[in-house]
């Protein structure tokens, strides 16, 4: 099971490589492009301040700094596990003035609710930012490595606790992956938000907590947390993380990437979709975007128009498999 | 560097033309946005966030924070004048504040609310200045078991929010039942959604509050012609008298302290703070029978508590990077967008920004007091507009506000449905505040009980082993036992 | 009148049944913690008990509550107001929200509340313009716009 996941990751990686090579050959990028007219609304299903919101607001700011003339507004259509946002965009067939932010709930909510897949209906444009997770433990706790953590959970199944965000969210799925890969049983304690889970962790109530690298770094630097493992393919190179081994190095074969992307409504003119894919690519090559990625310790593998669809479908399959394994999937 | 030197540096950032100008702009926007039903400070900050992109990060954060606490002052207006709390934290203000407005004392209520908010706000900022690290450590000792007992205290206390405890509790249970709708927060299993995807995320607080309070109220007033008279306000009733201040200063102090402590807990918030402050105040008040019928000290305590809670929420945000409220979550996002990484290192790495922000809160609260005191009578004079003209406007604004909160027409329908429920509750003499408060407390109650037992692997001893939890448990048991004991004593005295 | 006074309690009993039956398929206990059906079961029980207490009190003649129902004209006004709100919700996707606000206020003032025509229309237009300025122009909220382009 875990090998399939790793393969998916590896496949994504090769795809990204081949795309980059394709992009360097100008003749291949000859899709017809057409700019939409009028103001653009980027619909975000999270509230202001959520990761997808921050990412899209940063993107919008960069694009309106000379790349795109159409004024871009980020609108938060919160509620329903992003379903208010995606249902709004699904209802705007062919509309050139609205885009949907893709975040994991856009994939997981339909699976959990048993409604038709969203990604199969919208027009995928690009996937452009990913984030790795780090498993943290208490600084004065008894674990120093993932191996010790796993051994403790093996000895006393269910006695090692992880505080995380909503049930079915990224950290829940990452927990499930670790459980499967190491063949252990953990106690996952869901919270109303990621920051509530962080408070539970910082209060010393649990043994483990997944954080994004940026969140994790300041906790580690201030001595409030100790890193056990990064759930990625290879180690990071930044000073704060270069000594933190991957889960794979410690015998737990898990790679998990959170990712965000953008799609147009169903039936969007391919020329407009191509134009947007081009703009998102240009935006993610700007220094401002690279600085943001570096500051937030994220990855910026770019999946353009040609691969975005296949990439998102693969991720959807992964989500479905994981949600089935934790007993949440309905279809 | 000592704290006072750092604070001095902060004031140097604020006391510039740009600093003062943007702080003033922020609090003014907050005042207006807070007064719109549906759009609270958090939504207002999010909507206006892009406007700050060109600014220096420190100035931008000061302005956004101004919107945050300015919203608390602005929310008082709608609660008192038209009985529509824009946010959960305004419910307790509406209970007595609107009754006072009906008596023609809207100006007094608004002025006392502004003074109370100001004093509690400044007190909370002083706490932020000097004891943020201590308080943030204290806040972390609050977790699931403590939150459960706190929520239990709040829910059982709703029994006292009406003439008849049975009716009040029934309204509370109704609120808890409404909160059941949607995906179970712990396992994600759909509950009472009847196959409707729209109900999956549950029923939002905003349409319920707008419907039950605002629309229900207007429907009840529209049904007869004698209610159509404008509410009489005499000018000399518009300004607070010295006696009003004397009667409420203790309430402001107690409310402010309660608000600060509840506000710093990442899992509670301004609404729990104002409820607890209100209930505490009724215990201390020389005239508890006035509560629910227009008690000025009730308004003062609730307002002091919600403002100091909204400032207190800054403490876990600055010290740990954990937002204590929806508004501080937007503030964190703004930091990230301006290239500042929040977290436990924020105060060391960005000391200019952090101390500028703290200094700006002193200045901003002063601005808000200066804006609100002279304008309170003016706002109160709005009630001189004939009610027939006011009523359709309130209804329309409520529906637009509900839409703006989620950008979904479903919210508007929800609002109308709960408007009818609110009207029926008035007609059948079922008190409305317990319903709305129970709705706010329900997720905290259920989630934290289940989290507690997950943390303790199923052992109930977690509630007595943790010191703070044990104390709260005793408080809860007392608050449950006292009315029963009182009733027994009364019935024995009768026989 | 007694039957009318008993309505809230009867409604609560019905609701408790609905909550109890609606969560039948869910687990009451889930490993070491209460499951999704735990709170619903207790709430349904609490609701039913409270309703029965209220019924008993009312049967004994206490706690009838302060029932206060309007006359026929009042009922008509409330009904018309509700209809106007529903109407506003229905026309919003077609004509846009700002014009819907103007229509709603115009309808309420002239037909339901029987005010003079000119001030009513001025109020309607004034509030709609205010909504447009504050919500759309200033805050940038995308309220539903008119559905058919000119």
Q: Which residues of C touch A75 (CB under 8 A)?
A: 142
Residue C109 CA: distances (Å) to CA of A273, B319, C90, C96, C106: 48, 53, 19, 20, 5
Cβ of residue C149 closer than 8 Å to a chain A Cβ: no
- Residue B347 and residue B495 in one domain: no
Gap from A218 CA to chain B (nearest CA, Å): 6
Contact B93, B81 (CB under 8 A): no
CA dihedral B332, A171, B349, A224 (to 10 degrees): 130
Q: Quick check: is C144 in a domain?
A: no
* Contact between chains at A54 and B406 (C-beta distance less than 8 A): no
pLDDT in tens, chain B (495 residues): 788 999 999 999 999 999 999 999 999 999 988 888 877 888 888 888 878 878 899 999 999 999 999 998 988 988 898 888 877 788 889 889 988 988 888 889 999 999 999 999 999 999 999 998 888 888 898 999 999 999 998 888 888 787 788 899 999 999 999 999 988 888 878 889 887 777 877 888 888 988 998 899 889 888 876 555 556 666 666 677 888 888 899 999 999 999 999 999 887 788 889 999 998 998 888 988 888 888 999 999 999 999 999 999 999 989 888 887 888 888 988 888 888 888 888 888 888 999 999 999 999 999 999 999 888 888 888 777 888 888 899 899 999 988 988 888 989 999 999 999 999 999 998 999 899 889 988 988 999 999 999 999 999 999 999 999 999 999 889 888 877 777 677 767 765
Q: How far is A222 from chain C (nearest CA, A)?
A: 34
Q: Where are the domains of chain A?
A: 2-130+257-325, 132-250
Are both B449 and B490 inside the same structural domain?
Answer: no
Same domain, B57 and B159: yes
Q: Which of residues 84-143 of C touch A (CB under 8 A)?
A: 140, 142
Is residue C147 situated within a structural domain? no
What residue has token string 């735990």? Answer: C38
Helix (H, G, I), strand (E, B) or coil at C32: coil
Is residue B393 located within the same domain as residue B468? no
Which of B426, B440, B373 lies closest to B218 in space, CA to CA? B426
Q: Which residue of C has its CA nearest to A40?
A: C142
- Return d(Cα C77, Cα A214) in angstroms, integer: 58
Task: Supply φ then ψ for residue A318, to 5 degrees.
Answer: -60, -50
Specify the length of chain C in residues: 150
Report the number of distinct structural domains present in chain C. 2
Summarize pLDDT for A218-275 with one digit per residue, the tens.
Answer: 899 999 999 999 999 999 999 889 999 999 999 999 999 999 999 999 999 999 999 9
Contact by Cβ (8 Å): B469, B207: no
Q: Are residues B32 and B64 in the same domain?
A: yes
| Contact between chains at C47 and B174 (C-beta distance less than 8 A) | yes
Judged against a pLDDT cut of 50, whether residue A23 lies above it is answered with no
Phi, psi torsion values for A153, nearest 5 degrees: -70, -30
Looking at chain C, the number of H-run helices and the number of E-run strands are: 6, 2
Listed as ranges, residues in chain C with pLDDT below 50 are: none
| CB pair distance less than 8 Å for C54 and B189 | no
A192 versus B24: the higher-pLDDT residue is: B24
Beta-bridged to residue A10, according to DSSP, are none
Q: How far is B299 from chain C, CA to nearest CA, in Å?
A: 25
Are B359 and B492 members of one domain?
no
Cβ within 8 Å of residue B122, ≥6 positions away: B362, B365
Give the tokens for residue B232: 């009489």
Alpha helices (H) along chain A: 2-24, 51-62, 83-90, 104-113, 146-155, 170-182, 194-202, 213-221, 270-284, 287-295, 305-325
List the subunits that have 3+ CB pairs under 8 angstroms with B.
A, C
H/E element holding A99?
Answer: strand A98-102
From chain C, the residues in CB contact with B411 under 8 A are none
Do B344 and B492 reside in the same domain of the chain? Answer: no
Do A2-130+257-325 and A132-250 share a fold?
yes
Dihedrals phi, psi of C104, to nearest 5 degrees: -60, -50
CB contact under 8 A, B344 and A217: no
ipTM of the complex: 0.93
pLDDT at B40: 80
d(CA B326, CA A248): 37
Taking the CA of residue A75 and the nearest CA in chain C, the distance in Å comes to 8
3-class state of residue A211 by DSSP: strand
B-chain residues near A71 (CB < 8 A): none
* Cα–Cα distance for residue pair A266/A91, rounded to 1 Å: 8
Q: Which of B53, B188, B407 lies at the smallest CB-CB distance from A61?
A: B53
Q: Determine, for residues A215 and B321 on separate chains, whether the beta-carbon distance falls below 8 Å.
A: yes
Predicted local confidence at residue A14, as pLDDT: 39
Q: Which residues of A touch C (CB under 8 A)?
A: 41, 73, 75
Q: What dihedral angle (degrees, nearest 10) is formed by the CA atoms of B43, B44, B47, B53?
A: -120
Residue of A205, A141, A207, A212 lying closest to A171 (CA atoms): A212
Query: What does the alpha-carbon distance between residue C81 and residue B392 come to, in Å, rounded to a whole number?
Result: 9
The verdict on a CB contact (< 8 Å) between B50 and A48 is: no
Residue A229's DSSP bridge partners are A135
Average pLDDT over residues A25-54: 79
Minimal-distance CA residue of chain C relative to A73: C140
C150 part of a folded domain: no
Residue of C nearest to B424 (CA): C8
Q: In terms of residue numbers, what domain contains B479? A: 463-495
Does A69 contact B at CB distance below 8 Å?
A: no
Q: For domain A132-250, which CATH number applies: 3.40.718.10, 3.40.30.120, 3.40.190.10, 3.40.50.300? A: 3.40.190.10
Q: Which residues of A touch B185 (CB under 8 A)?
A: 166-167, 190, 192
Query: Residue A247 gets which letter from DSSP?
Result: T
Distance CA A150, CA B403 (A): 49
Chain A hits for B342, Cβ within 8 Å: 218
Q: Coil, helix or strand for B105?
A: coil
Point out the domain boundary residue: C36, C59, C82: C59
- Would you give the distance in Å from CA A300 to the centre of its chain? 11
User: In 3D, which of A173, A231, A309 has the Cα closest to residue A9?
Assistant: A231
State the CATH class of domain A2-130+257-325: alpha beta
Residue B465 Cα to chain centre, angstroms: 31
Please indicate whether, in this complex, the C-beta atoms of B185 and A166 are within 8 angstroms of each other: yes
Total domains in the fold of chain B: 2
What pLDDT is stored for residue A21 in this prediction? Answer: 43
Q: Judge contact between C11 and B432, C-beta under 8 A.
A: no
Contact B337 A159 (CB under 8 A): no
Residue A156 CB burial class (10 angstroms; 0-12, 13-18, ≥19): exposed
Chain centroid, CA C148 distance in Å: 30
Q: Are residues B374 and B476 in the same domain?
A: no
Q: What angle is formed at CA B133 by the lines to CA B129 and CA B137, rounded to 5 degrees?
A: 140
Structure tokens at B201: 């995320």
Q: Using only C-alpha atoms, what is the Rg of chain C?
A: 24
Q: What is the DSSP string of A265-301?
A: PTT--HHHHHHHHHHHHHHHTSHHHHHHHHHTT-B--
> Cα(A200)–Cα(A222) distance, rounded to whole angstroms?
17
Question: How many beta-carbon pairs below 8 A join chains A and B?
Answer: 157
Tell me the C-alpha distance between B250 and B285, whole Å.
Answer: 10
Whether residues B389 and B318 fall in one domain:
yes
Contact check, Cβ <8 Å, C81/B399: no
Structure tokens at B343: 């977290």
The closest of B437, B326, B403, B433 to B40, measured between CA atoms, is B326
Q: How many CB atoms lie within 10 A of CB B341?
A: 18
Looking at the complex, does the CB of residue C25 fall below 8 Å from at least one CB of chain A? Answer: no
User: Over 90: is that where the pLDDT of A42 sits?
Assistant: yes
The minimum CA-CA distance between C142 and chain A, rounded to whole Å, is 8
- Interface chains of chain A (3 or more CB pairs under 8 Å): B, C
Query: pLDDT value at position A22?
Result: 43
Pairing mode, strands A98-102 and A208-212:
unpaired
Return the SS3 of B283. helix
Rounded Cα–Cα distance for residues B14 and B113 (Å)? 26
How far apart CA B401 and CA B414 sit, in angstroms, is: 13
Q: Please, are residues A311 and A12 in contact by the beta-carbon 8 Å criterion?
A: yes
Instruction: Report yes or no on C109 lying in a domain.
Output: yes
Are the Cβ atoms of C88 and B399 closer than 8 angstroms?
yes
Is B214 within 8 Å of B394 (Cβ atoms)? yes
Partner-chain residue, chosen from C34, C65, C92, that has the shortest CB–CB distance to B409: C92
C118: distance to nearest CA of chain A, Å?
37
Burial class (CB in 10 A: 0-12, 13-18, 19+), A176: buried
Check A295 against B339: CB less than 8 A apart: yes
Contact B187/C82, CB-based, under 8 Å? Answer: no
- CB nearest C143 (choices: B47, B397, B403): B403
Both tokens of C31, joined, read: 């490993």
Say whether pLDDT at A20 is over 90. no
Domain that residue C34 falls in? 2-59
Strands A187-190 vs A161-164: parallel, antiparallel or unpaired:
parallel
């Amino acid at each position: 099971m875990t090998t399939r996941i790793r393969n998916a990751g590896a496949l994504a990686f090769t795809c990204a490589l081949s795309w980059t090579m394709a992009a360097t050959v100008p003749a291949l990028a000859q899709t017809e492009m057409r700019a939409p007219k009028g103001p653009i609304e980027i619909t975000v299903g999270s509230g202001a301040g959520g990761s997808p919101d921050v990412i899209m607001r940063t993107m919008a700011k960069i694009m309106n700094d000379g790349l795109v003339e159409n004024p871009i507004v980020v609108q938060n259509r919160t509620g329903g596990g992003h379903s208010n946002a995606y249902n709004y965009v699904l209802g705007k067939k062919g509309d050139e003035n609205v885009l949907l932010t893709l975040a994991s709930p856009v994939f997981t909510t339909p699976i959990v609710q048993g409604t038709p897949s969203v990604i199969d209906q919208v027009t995928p444009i690009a996937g452009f930012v990913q984030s790795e997770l780090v498993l943290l433990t208490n600084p004065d706790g008894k674990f120093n490595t993932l191996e010790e953590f796993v051994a403790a959970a093996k000895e006393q199944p269910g006695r090692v606790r992880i505080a995380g965000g909503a049930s079915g969210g990224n950290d829940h799925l990452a927990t499930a992956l670790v459980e499967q890969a190491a063949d252990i049983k953990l106690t996952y304690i869901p919270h109303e938000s990621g920051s509530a889970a962080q408070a539970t962790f910082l209060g010393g109530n649990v043994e483990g907590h997944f954080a994004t690298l940026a969140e994790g770094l300041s906790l580690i630097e201030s001595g409030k947390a100790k890193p056990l493992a990064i759930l990625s393919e290879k180690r990071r190179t930044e000073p704060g993380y270069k000594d933190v081994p991957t889960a794979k190095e410690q015998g737990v074969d898990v790679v998990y990437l959170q990712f965000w992307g953008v799609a147009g409504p169903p039936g969007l003119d391919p020329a407009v979709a191509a134009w947007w894919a081009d703009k998102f690519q240009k935006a993610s090559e700007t220094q401002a975007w690279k600085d943001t990625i570096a500051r937030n310790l994220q990855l910026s593998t770019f999946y353009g128009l040609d691969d975005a669809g296949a990439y998102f479908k693969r991720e959807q399959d992964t989500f479905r498999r994981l949600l089935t394994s934790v007993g949440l999937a309905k279809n | 560097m000592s704290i006072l030197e750092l604070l001095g540096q902060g004031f140097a950032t604020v006391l510039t033309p740009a600093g003062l100008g943007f702080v003033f702009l922020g609090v003014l926007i907050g005042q207006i946005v807070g007064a719109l039903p549906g759009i609270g400070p958090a939504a207002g900050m999010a909507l206006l966030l892009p406007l700050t992109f060109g600014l220096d990060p420190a100035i931008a954060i000061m302005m956004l924070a101004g919107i945050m606490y300015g919203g608390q002052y602005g929310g008082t207006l709608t609660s008192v004048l038209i009985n529509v709390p824009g946010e959960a934290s305004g419910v307790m203000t509406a209970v007595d504040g609107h009754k006072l407005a009906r008596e023609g004392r809207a100006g007094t209520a608004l002025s006392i609310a502004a003074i109370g908010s100001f004093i509690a706000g400044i007190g909370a900022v002083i706490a932020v200045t000097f004891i943020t690290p201590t308080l943030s450590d204290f806040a972390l000792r609050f977790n699931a078991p403590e939150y459960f007992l706190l929520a239990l205290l709040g829910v059982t206390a709703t029994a006292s929010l009406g003439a008849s405890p049975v009716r009040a509790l029934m309204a509370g249970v109704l609120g808890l039942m409404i909160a059941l709708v949607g995906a179970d927060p712990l396992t994600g299993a759909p509950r009472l959604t009847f196959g409707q995807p729209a109900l999956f995320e549950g029923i939002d607080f905003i349409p319920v509050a707008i419907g039950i309070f605002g629309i229900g109220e207007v429907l009840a007033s529209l049904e007869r012609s004698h209610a159509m008279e404008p509410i009489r306000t005499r000018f000399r009733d518009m300004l607070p008298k010295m006696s009003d201040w004397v009667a409420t200063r203790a309430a402001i102090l107690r409310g402010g302290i309660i608000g600060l402590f509840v506000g710093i807990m990442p899992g509670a918030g301004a609404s729990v703070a104002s409820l607890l402050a209100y209930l505490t105040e009724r215990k201390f008040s020389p005239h508890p029978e006035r509560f629910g019928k227009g008690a000025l000290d009730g308004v003062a305590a609730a307002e002091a508590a919600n403002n100091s809670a909204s400032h207190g929420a800054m403490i876990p945000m600055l010290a740990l990077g954990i937002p204590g409220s929806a508004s501080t979550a937007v503030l964190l996002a703004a930091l990230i967008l301006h290239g500042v990484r929040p977290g436990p290192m924020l105060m060391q790495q960005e000391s200019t920004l952090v101390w500028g922000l703290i200094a700006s809160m002193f200045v901003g609260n002063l601005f808000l007091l200066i804006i609100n005191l002279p304008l309170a009578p003016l706002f109160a004079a709005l009630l001189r507009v004939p009610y027939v003209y006011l009523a359709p406007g309130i209804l329309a604004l409520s529906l637009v506000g509900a839409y703006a909160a989620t950008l979904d027409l479903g919210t508007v329908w929800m609002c109308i449905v709960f408007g009818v429920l609110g009207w029926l509750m008035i007609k059948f003499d079922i008190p409305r505040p317990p319903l709305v408060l129970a709705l706010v407390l329900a997720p905290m109650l259920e989630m934290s009980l289940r989290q507690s037992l997950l943390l303790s692997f199923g052992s109930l001893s977690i509630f007595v082993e943790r010191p703070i939890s044990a104390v709260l448990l005793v408080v809860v048991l007392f608050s449950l036992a006292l009315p029963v004991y009182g009733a027994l004593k009364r019935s024995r005295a009768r026989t | 009148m007694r039957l009318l006074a008993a309505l809230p309690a009867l409604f609560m009993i019905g609701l408790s049944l609905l909550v109890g039956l609606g969560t039948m398929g869910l687990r009451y206990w889930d490993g070491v913690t209460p499951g999704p059906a735990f709170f619903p079961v207790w709430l349904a029980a609490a609701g039913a008990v409270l309703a029965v207490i209220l019924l008993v009190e009312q049967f004994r003649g206490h706690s009838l509550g302060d029932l206060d129902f309007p006359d026929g004209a009042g009922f008509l006004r409330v009904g018309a107001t509700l209809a106007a709100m529903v109407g506003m919700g229905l026309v919003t996707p077609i004509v846009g929200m700002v014009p819907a606000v103007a229509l709603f206020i115009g309808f309420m003032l002239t037909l339901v509340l029987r005010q003079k025509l000119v001030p009513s229309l001025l109020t309607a237009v004034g509030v709609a313009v205010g909504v447009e300025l504050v919500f759309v122009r200033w805050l940038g909220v995308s309220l539903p716009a008119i559905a058919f382009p000119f």
